[in-house]
Structure 1
Amino acid sequence: MSDTVSGLLTIAVLVAALAVVHVPLGTWMARVFTDTKHWRIERIVYRLVRVDPGSEQRWVTYAVAVIGFSVVGIVLLLAMILLQGVLPFARGAAMNVDTALNTAVSFVTNTNWQSYAGESGVSPLVQTVGLTVQNFVSPAVGLAVAVALVRGLVRSSGSELGNFWVDLVRGLFRVIVPIALIGAVVLLLGGVIQNLTAPTTVTTLSGGHQVVQGGLVASQEAIKELGTNGGGYFNANSAHPFENPNPLTNLVEIFLLLVIPFSLPRTYGVMAGDRRQGWTVLGFMTTLWVLMLTVVTWSEVHAASGPLGGMEGKELRFGVWPSALFATSTTATSTGAVNSMHESFSALGGGGALFNMMLGELSPGGVGTGLYSALLVAILTVFLAGLMVGRTPELLGKQIGRREITLTALAVLVMPTLVLAFTGIGMVAPLVSSQMLATGPHGLTEVMYAYTSAANNNGSAFAGFSADTPYTNLTLALCMFLGRFAPIVLVLALAGSLVTQRRRPVTAGTLPTHTPTFIGLFVGVAVIVGGLTFFPALALGPLAEALS
């Protein structure tokens, strides 16, 4: 009973904290991306990169800028990882080429899938200058794309969506960097380490020896959570006491990974000039998050896997409830951070985390990616509702015609196509099946979780699946790249199609998209689409395991 009360109080404190910052942060982000003035430091950056901040871009130019910036980031990070042995603070860190490529793609795509041990695979220099920098810019890219789609919905004339470079810089300097700085200080005060001391050899209780690494952890921990990046300075990720030493820091980290995604609906409502639209998206995201949190928590609390019950794979300093809360939140966003071993969750608990990602990680999703994914589902919802009642489908006065629904459908189908195709290949390919720790339904879940995590740019894993081989490194990297940038291009094409339309006035025949009824339909479409797409695979994996 005490665990239940403590768990419920923890959730209540988290929800209260998110509610307190929802309006001011969401409103601030709306002002950031509609402000006509530029800060001095921003003007300096524009001059350095030779960007005219007063110009705007059509969707094609915006998309080229996004892809070009990201590809350059992959190349530079790959070079840094491969050359880390001759750079300062090397400390013996090294990677083979396929692992390095996987890592570079992973961090640039906001995935942070790690096929290496964090404390030994990369040097402190690469951790700080390479990986942490991408932890800042990759969420800023997602935020910029989401804002571009909102502009496509709310603007009534023209064909421009804004300027990617301006959106990127503003998202960094006005939103992400300030919050990350505050978060790093709070974590540092909570006991997360921040140093550059040499590795220390300690004697264990059994008389053996262990090398304990230090590092600039607090600064990376804050942005990995805030930017819904994931990954970990140490191989144990946010279960490591240097990254997440106590229940308070655990709560702070969950708050950081949810705060921007849950505030973006307010940004959408303010920019749309109708805050009810923002409440609708928030209600949609919250409903899905609560439903999945209930499933995962119930499954873990009632797990009977030995004398410790559902504590297998969980840290004693956290317990079942905070571990389930972290797992739900990290898979509901595109965050790969974990404070427990998802592989050791019960069949339904691990399956719940898996299905959370299969929904498209829109409950509330990653920084920017969650909002534009939710708006894709909203467009699909109004289209289906229009078919059912014989009304012309519209969202914010923009008609959803053949081109719009085609682009929406393609964007929604990218992730399932990647997941099901590569999971199917993996189950019959000896190179993959030999890496599975388990067989039967759980083995299928291991492989399916890996490719779902990659295609959704999540980064968490069922660690029993050993994925550090050339085949898995390259296929997972391909899933991460396509799972990130194919939807982005389609979303920007959709925004470009919508921005050229004039907003139609509301009439008696307009479907209201701000009512509880619409929220229910909104949630139903997301769950049904995810269920119809993945139910056969889930039935062979976690559901079969749970019923066996």
Structure 2
Amino acid sequence: MSWFTGITQVLLVLALLAAAHVPLGTYMARVFLSEKDARVESVLYRLTGVDSSSEQRWRTYFLSVLGFTAVSLVVLFGLLRLQHLLPLSNGHPAVPVDQAVNTAVSFATNTNWQSYAGETTMGFLAQMAGLAVQNFVSAAVGIAVAVALIRGLMRSTSLFIGNFWVDLTRATLRILLPISMIFAIIYIGLGVIDNLTPDQVVHTVTGGAQSTQTIPGGPDASQEVIKHLGTNGGGFFNANSAHPLSAPSALVNLANVFLILLIPSALPRTFGIMVGSRKHGWAILAAMATFFVLSLAAVIALETTTATPASQAAGAAMEGRETRFGIIPSAFFAVATTLTSTGAIDSAHSSYSGLGGAVLMLNMMIGEIAPGGVGSGLYGMLIVAIIAVFVCGLMVGRTPEFLGKRIGRTEITLASTFILVSPALALIGTAVATLWPGTLDSVLNTTSAIQSGGNVTDPSTQTATGLNPHALSEILYAFTSAANNNGSAFAGLDADTPFFNIALATGMLLGRLVPIGAVLALAGALAEQTPAEASPGTLPTHRPLFVGVVVGIGFVISALTFLPVLALGPINEGLM
């Protein structure tokens, strides 16, 4: 694929996102500002005993999130353990306990990390009634939390930040479900399978008794859409979004990227409308776009550099890429999926260059805020903006303010808690995994290569950790992905072991719920304040200078936290 074709495809998707930004962002603002319930919503509220006219304090809102997540975990775990007794299991046995725990946590936390191959592990009912349902509601939880934080910024002297059950219902029924239904029909028309046909064994053209191939079936299109739209990730098939039945053409591949970025890129517009300052929405979007463009340019440049005979012969670093898509669209997909909380992949991230892989990891390490996951990207970026306001306030000696709300001790403590949780989980998890007995056998290379400190035929790959750089990168990527609720992997790691299943499940659960708790507590603290009038000394938080500060703060926080371990892993590998 030529540079012109690849860049044209990228620009086409970005143009479509720009066209959808205003109408979708405005629509979502109306959804959450409306005081009227749809008829189907009223029926659901009556059946569940929800009073849609009442609102919740932040603690009650958070307890609702915890309760909903707990019920989701129990139901999904039970479905996976009992799938062999249920219809449409396709003969698959019950999912092992540790893997069922990992999968239930993964899908309930919008992570969609998979330590299994979908077509050989999950029956159709588990995929539809279990995983696909969680794709909807876990994404809706992220949107609800983002909206709660927006209410904290837009309200004054209030004890309430909304009603979780109403926000969850509206996000699901008014936003996620309609778009998914439309695109599922489009995907079926483009050749993505969606049926209840069991696997079929066919004879290939080579002939002979052994010349057979298994053609899988299943309701894929309906799940493929929401896995991208809800920035969930995962895959109906083990090959994920590179599978020809899930992504039969380059057009579907581009549509996947469009869906991944659609809602997160429109939410800044929703934010601007709800707080009554659209220019602040544009500022948040500009910061997100700056991160995205820098990351995309870096990955494309690194992956199109022909430094080896193999890559020179292919014209680019094509190992682990789908030839139907090409190097630039694959890089575009990889950047989109790691800058959002989407674990879907259309190429093997483990096959990227050392420095290219480092950029993909850094995308997750900055908190996936450009534009980030559905809901989680917006509230993550708002946290970075609040920290930037605080830093600027310290520099000029004035009380930090954001949208008229003072950023004092309570607010900055909660914001700091938010940004420290995921790095702590990723780094501690990586450290424990490298020392845990037997876990190194799960890494990319053979045991002998790992124990020798690298490639057994190349002593130059040895490091002080006893791991070669790529093996360390495998583990670091896994825990970074889990802690940030991303779900993608370097793919050379055998994560289907009791240690990794439980350790990564712990990282996913804490990486989701602790930051949400901090965000909701911050929303409550901000809602209680009386807005301060802007003065001549108030820092404008909607101008290019502030956008630059936000971007700088986002990079600095990640660089200071992760640079040492990145230097041991992907940077070391890239400089060899």
2:241 counterpart residue number: 238
| Equivalent residue runs for 1:84-123 within 5 Å | 84-94=83-93, 95-123=95-123
Who is 1:502 aligned against?
530
User: Separation in 2 of the partners of 1:486 and 1:63?
Assistant: 10
Give the alignment of 1:18-417 within 5 angstroms. Answer: 18-94=17-93, 95-204=95-204, 208-305=211-308, 306=310, 307-308=313-314, 309-417=316-424
Q: For residue 391 of structure 1, give the secondary structure of its aligned residue in structure 2.
A: coil
> Aligned partners of 1:158, 1:539: CA distance in 2, in Å?
47
Q: Is the 8 A contact 1:418 1:479 kept in 2?
A: yes
Partner SS for 1:202: strand
Mapped to 1, the partners of 2:365 and 2:303 lie a distance apart of 20
Give the SS at the match of 1:80.
helix
Give the 3-state SS of the residue equivalent to 2:438 in structure 1.
helix
2:242·2:345 contact (CA, 8 Å) conserved in 1? yes
* Higher mean displacement: 305-314 or 265-274: 305-314
SS for the counterpart of 2:113 is: coil
2:369/2:377 contact within 8 Å kept: yes
CA distance in 1, matches of 2:377, 2:203: 46
Report if aligned partners of 2:183, 2:225 keep a CA contact under 8 Å in 1: yes
Between the aligned partners of 1:510 and 1:181, the Cα distance in structure 2 is: 46
Higher mean displacement: 302-311 or 471-480: 302-311
2: CA distance between counterparts of 1:479 and 1:425? 12
Residue type of the partner of 1:400? I
SS in 1 for 2:554: helix
SS in 1 for 2:2: helix
Aligned partner of residue 214 in structure 2, secondary structure: strand
Map of 1:538 onto structure 2: 566
Q: Counterparts of 1:299 and 1:72 in 2: how far apart (Å)?
A: 44
Query: Corresponding residue for 2:463?
Result: none
C-alpha distance in structure 2 between counterparts of 1:16 and 1:232, whole Å = 27
- Contact map agreement 1:303 1:346 (CA 8 A) in 2: no
Which amino acid is 1:23 matched to?
V
Q: CA contact under 8 A between 1:354 and 1:452: conserved in structure 2?
A: yes
Aligned equivalents of 1:290, 1:430: Cα separation in 2: 41
In structure 2, distance between residues paired with 1:443 and 1:298:
24
1:204 Cα offset (Å)? 4.2
* Counterpart-to-counterpart distance in 2, 1:185 and 1:108: 26
Partner of 1:210, secondary structure, is strand
2:489 is the counterpart of 1:486: no
SS in 2 for 1:311: coil
| 1:182-228 deviation line (CA, Å, top 9, x unaligned) | 11111111110111112111234665323221001100000000000
After TM superposition, the score normalised by the length of structure 2 is 0.94
State the one-letter code of the partner of 2:13: L
Corresponding letter in the other structure for 2:40: I
**Counterpart residue number, 2:488:** 460
- Preserved CA contact (<8 Å) 1:22 1:262: yes
1:297 is displaced (CA, Å) by 1.0
Q: Note if contact 2:17-2:258 (Cα within 8 Å) is conserved in structure 1.
A: yes
* Amino acid in structure 1 at the alignment position of 2:492: G
| Whole-angstrom distance in 2 between the partners of 1:489 and 1:470 | 28
User: What's the CA shift string for 1:336-373, capped at 9, x where partnerless?
Assistant: 00001111111111111111001100011100000000
CA drift of 1:412 comes to: 0.6
User: What's the offset of the Cα at 1:434?
Assistant: 1.3
Question: What is the RMSD of the two structures over their aligned residues, measured on CA atoms?
Answer: 1.0
Residue 318 of structure 1 deviates from its aligned partner by: 0.4
Alpha-carbon offset, residue 431 of structure 1: 2.5
Instruction: Tell me which amino acid in the other structure corresponds to 2:153.
Output: L
Q: Distance in 1 between matches of 2:76 and 2:417?
A: 30
How far apart are 1:282 and its partner, in Å? 0.2
Preserved contact between residue 111 and residue 485 of structure 2 (Cα < 8 Å): yes
Contact 1:431 1:471 in 2 (8 A): no
Counterpart of 1:201 in 2: which secondary structure?
Answer: strand
Q: Residue 303 of structure 1: CA displacement?
A: 4.2
Q: Which residue of 2 aligns with 1:517?
A: 545
Aligned partner of residue 26 in structure 2, secondary structure: helix
Distance in 2, Cα, partners of 1:468 & 1:303: 35
Paired with 1:337 and 1:27, the residues of 2 have a C-alpha distance of: 28
In the alignment, structure 1 segments of 5+ residues that lack a partner are: none
Say if 2:441 is the partner of 1:434: yes
SS of the counterpart of 1:310? coil
CA distance in 2, matches of 1:432, 1:351: 23
Alpha-carbon contact 2:6-2:326 (below 8 Å) kept: no
Amino acid at match of 2:510: L
Whether 1:470 and 2:498 are equivalent positions in the alignment is yes
Aligned partners of 1:183 and 1:256 also within 8 Å? no
In structure 1, C-alpha distance between the alignment counterparts of 2:142 and 2:109, rounded to whole Å: 9
Residue 157 of structure 1: CA displacement?
2.4
CA distance in 2, matches of 1:311, 1:198: 33
- Tell me, in whole angstroms, the C-alpha distance in 2 between the residues paired with 1:169 and 1:268: 19
Question: Does 123-132 or 207-216 show the bigger shift?
Answer: 207-216
Distance (whole Å) between structure 1 residues aligned to residue 544 and residue 472 of structure 2: 38
How far has the Cα of 1:328 moved from its partner? 0.3
Residue type at the aligned position of 1:114: Q
Question: What secondary structure does 2:98 align onto?
Answer: helix
Distance 1:116 1:372 in 2: 31
Percent of counterpart pairs with the same letter? 53
Output one character per residue of 1:266-294: Cα deviation in whole Å (capped at 9) or x when no partner. 00000010000000100010100111111
Give 1:36 shift. 0.8
What do the CA deviations read for 1:252-272 (whole angstroms, capped 9, x no partner)?
010001000000000000001
Indicate if the aligned counterparts of 2:235 and 2:344 stay in contact, CA closer than 8 A: yes
Contact 1:117 1:235 in 2 (8 A): yes
Q: Secondary structure at the match of 2:369?
A: coil
Alignment of 1:415-426 (within 5 A): 415-426=422-433
CA distance in 1, matches of 2:366, 2:420: 11
Cα deviation per residue 1:155-191 (whole Å; 9 max; x = unaligned)? 0121100000000001111111011111111111111
CA–CA separation in structure 1 for the residues paired with 2:198 and 2:272: 49
Aligned residues: 547
Give the letter for the 2:559 counterpart: G
TM-score between the two structures when normalised by the length of structure 1: 0.99
What secondary structure sits across from 2:51 in the alignment? coil
